[in-house]
Amino acid sequence: MKIRVKGIKDTDKLGRKLGELVEPGDVICLNGDLGAGKTTLSKSIGLGMGVDDYITSPTFAIINEYEGRHPLYHFDVYRLNNGEELFDLGVEDYFYGKGVCLIEWAENIEEFLPENRLEVWINTTLDPDEREIELIPYGDRNEFLARELIK
């Protein structure tokens, strides 16, 4: 399922919509090159979840936690090289916990991801403000989310 977003406003709309739909246990994987818009989309998802704090890139912290309608666990696993570091973070408690996980650079830890997840692949286009966003849902719940998003 692919969506073309014409500019940052469209990206924001999509993110907020997803933020309104997510429930505890949902795992959203954000992939795409540096500057594709993973953090930008995360901010909008957070706004849709009612997070008041300003969401920043978790690149150095690896994980930031926020309180919204549900807890939000915002990961950036760009700097992780192996699974051991993930287990040190107690990642299973987050993935199968009481909150929503957003994982930037999820492709880096593919073998550790929960089977049921929504993958969001953000691709840049020739137009600097436009993005092509591909949704790959795993499981019924995520298929539902993807279908709602492309409506």
Residue 85 to residue 66: CA distance in whole angstroms:
22
**Interactions with ligand ADP, residue window 22-41 (CB under 6 A):** 32, 34-40
Q: Closest separation between CB of residue 21 and ligand ADP, Å?
A: 19
Q: Residue 87: CB partners within 8 Å, gap ≥ 6?
A: none
Residues in the chain, overall count: 151
Pull the structure tokens for residue 72. 């939000």
Q: Closest separation between CB of residue 147 and Mg ion, Å?
A: 26
Q: Closest separation between CB of residue 110 and ligand ADP, Å?
A: 17
Task: Examine residue 45 and tell whether it contacts ligand ADP (CB under 6 A).
Answer: no
- Binding site partner of 37, from ligand ADP, Mg ion, none, Cβ cut-off 5-8 A by kind: ligand ADP
Distances (CA, A) of 124 to 10, 12, 129: 14, 16, 8
Comparing CA positions, the residue from 29, 39, 81, 37 lying closest to residue 59 is 39
Cβ nearer to ligand ADP, comparing 38 with 70: 38
Task: Examine residue 7 and tell whether it contacts ligand ADP (CB under 6 A).
Answer: yes
Task: Examine residue 58 and tell whether it contacts ligand ADP (CB under 6 A).
Answer: no
